[in-house]
Amino acid sequence: MVVCVCNAIREKDVRQAARGGATSACQAYRALGLQPKCGQCVPFAREIINEERAAA
């Protein structure tokens, strides 16, 4: 599933960044070498990161 249309970031990318230590959407985007643009994806990215943190 696509999380961020602006940057073409997929859910698996955000999950991988979260597993790598990202604790916020901005940290996840930085880990991917990107940054949020319009911001509509941030709540969804945050939800994915929280899921990964809870599962760890």
Q: Domain range holding 20?
A: 2-55
How far apart (Å, rounded) are the C-alpha atoms in residues 53 and 51? 5
What does the alpha-carbon distance between residue 23 and residue 27 come to, in Å, rounded to a whole number? 7
For residue range 19-49, list pLDDT tens digits in order.
999 999 999 999 999 988 999 999 999 999 9
Mean pLDDT to the nearest integer, 3-30: 95
Rg for the chain (alpha carbons), in Å? 10
Total of domains in the chain: 1
CATH number at residue 37: 1.10.10
- The pLDDT value recorded for residue 56 is 75
